Amino acid sequence: MSRQANRTTDSKKMNSELFTLTYGALVTQLCKDYENDEEVNKQLDKMGYNIGVRLIEDFLARSNIGRCQDFRETADVIAKVAFKMYLGITPSVTNWSPAGDEFSLILENNPLVDFVELPDNHSTLIYSNLLVGVLRGALEMVQMAVDVRFAQDTLRGDNVTEIRMKFIKRIEENLPAGDE
Amino acid sequence: MADEVLFEFLHMEIVSHVYKEQQSRKGELDGKDRSACVSILEGMGFRVGQGLIERLTKDSPSFKDELDIMKFICKDFWTKVFRRQVDNLRTNHQGTYVLQDNTFALLTQLSTGKQYLDQAPKYLAYSCGVVRGALSNLGLDSVVTAEVSTMPSCKFQVVIQKL
């Protein structure tokens, strides 16, 4: 009977723990597979990209959001809708460049690093680099080439986690020859 | 629930990474390499299962016996991890348990039927590890295997290792 009480714990919460721990297991495995952190970062980015190109479909289908008019709107959608939906957090959007083609996402608490401490010998590892790939991949599927990178990371001693995003260009839709 | 999609995609990437990694080392994959892949995935799941069960049971009273533990796994643990209860639990009362899940979360996206049946082991190894890890931290040494005859239904066989 007493065990019944535990069942009220939010099941979504547990799921994100499963996700966080699984992600940790992946990073551990990658560190075993590859010699240096650079290579691990690259792999995480690649896997993130693969996830992003598929995740965007899920996102568009569920969020009912149409085409963004400008990069500011894109930033808002990413921070307020997408991050909320998939990671349950809302990063703040700051540090706009004067041209409006570059901004930062500030993550107060990054769910991917919940139970993580980086050992000293992995100082160049960008633990959450998967996110970079996800963002890049997803935006590429909506015709935006964007440069994404971690500018700061609490795991490496910074005060906040900051993801810097820079709009590069709009990708032209290439219709196959002969198609209207 | 949104997280689950993210987890599913991540899981798929992990599976494909492990297999690609093995392939890049060996070229062609034979049966032995495939089982090496399965055991890597299982190992990853094992550690995760250990972590999950620690967090899940921190407020629960201690268990009476082995069956009590298995019931906990089938109900609470399964609900938290795979979002539904196990449909059927069978045991021979000698340490062998069969947990049947008729719509297993990680298989529902793959197929309903016998197509891709040969691919099923890759997508179950991780989960087997999670279950084994959970049991291990509850004090039960076990061997967990999975068997699929028609997707997305799946049977997990847990054999408790007596000391």
CB contact (8 A) between residue A15 and residue B1: yes
Query: By the CB < 8 Å criterion, does B62 face chain A?
Result: no
Q: What's the pLDDT tens digit per position in A105-140? A: 999 888 888 888 888 888 899 999 999 999 999 999
Which run of H or E residues covers position B6?
helix B3-26
Share of chain A above pLDDT 90, in %: 66
Q: Decide which of A63 and A12 is more confident.
A: A63
**DSSP characters for A40-80?**
HHHHHHHHHHHHHHHHHHHHHHHH-----SSHHHHHHIIII
Q: Which range has the worst mean pLDDT, A37-41, A77-81, B63-67, B154-158?
A: B63-67
CA angle, A117 then A90 then B78, to 5°: 65
Query: By the CB < 8 Å criterion, does A57 face chain B?
Result: no
A11 → closest Cβ in B21, B47, B83: B83
Residue B118 Cα to chain centre, angstroms: 17
- Mean of pLDDT over chain B: 90
Query: By the CB < 8 Å criterion, does B40 face chain A?
Result: yes
CA angle, A35 then A41 then A42, to 5°: 95
B21 → closest Cβ in A6, A33, A115: A33
What does the pLDDT read at residue A7?
40
Interatomic CA distance for residues A81 and A60, integer angstroms = 11
User: What is the pLDDT confidence band of residue A173, given thresholds at 50, 70 and 90?
Assistant: confident
Q: Measuring CA to CA, which residue among A57, A56, A76, A79 is closest to residue A68?
A: A76
Query: By the CB < 8 Å criterion, does B54 face chain A?
Result: no
pLDDT in tens, chain B (163 residues): 457 889 999 999 999 999 998 888 877 778 888 889 999 999 999 999 999 999 888 888 888 899 999 999 999 999 988 888 999 999 999 999 999 999 998 998 888 888 889 889 899 999 999 999 999 999 999 999 999 988 899 999 999 998 6
CB contact (8 A) between residue A3 and residue B17: no
The interface predicted TM-score of the complex, written ipTM, equals 0.91
Query: By the CB < 8 Å criterion, does B6 face chain A?
Result: yes
A86 → closest Cβ in B3, B55, B61: B3
Share of chain A above pLDDT 70, in %: 88
CB contact (8 A) between residue A16 and residue B47: no
* Six token digits for residue A38: 């650079």
B61 → closest Cβ in A2, A15, A58: A2
* Six token digits for residue A12: 């979504």
User: What is the pLDDT confidence band of residue A92, given thresholds at 50, 70 and 90?
Assistant: very high
Interatomic CA distance for residues A90 and A78, integer angstroms = 9
- The average pLDDT across A170-174 equals 83
What does the pLDDT read at residue B23?
87
Share of chain B above pLDDT 90, in %: 63
A85 → closest Cβ in B2, B60, B61: B2
Q: Checking DSSP bridges between strand B142-147 and strand B154-160, what pairing results, if any?
A: antiparallel
What does the pLDDT read at residue A162?
96
Query: What is the pTM assigned to this prediction?
Result: 0.89
Q: In what order do the strands lie in the sheet with B154-160?
A: B88-91, B96-101, B154-160, B142-147
User: What is the pLDDT confidence band of residue A176, given thresholds at 50, 70 and 90?
Assistant: low
- Torsion sign (Cα): B140, B144, A8, A87: positive
Q: Spell out which residues of chain B touch residue A4, defining contact as CB-CB under 8 Å.
A: none
Query: By the CB < 8 Å criterion, does B61 face chain A?
Result: yes
Interatomic CA distance for residues B118 and B124, integer angstroms = 12
Q: Where are the beta strands (DSSP E) in chain B?
A: 88-91, 96-101, 142-147, 154-160
Query: By the CB < 8 Å criterion, does A27 face chain B?
Result: no
Query: By the CB < 8 Å criterion, does B36 face chain A?
Result: no
- Mean of pLDDT over chain A: 88
Q: Where are the beta strands (DSSP E) in A108-172?
A: 144-152, 161-170
Q: What's the pLDDT tens digit per position in A2-26? A: 444 444 444 455 568 889 999 999 9
CB contact (8 A) between residue B6 and residue A55: yes
Question: Max Cα separation, chain A?
Answer: 69
Find the residue in B nearest to A115 (Cα).
B51
Rg, C-alpha atoms of chain A: 18
Q: Measuring CA to CA, which residue among B13, B1, B154 is closest to residue A58?
A: B1
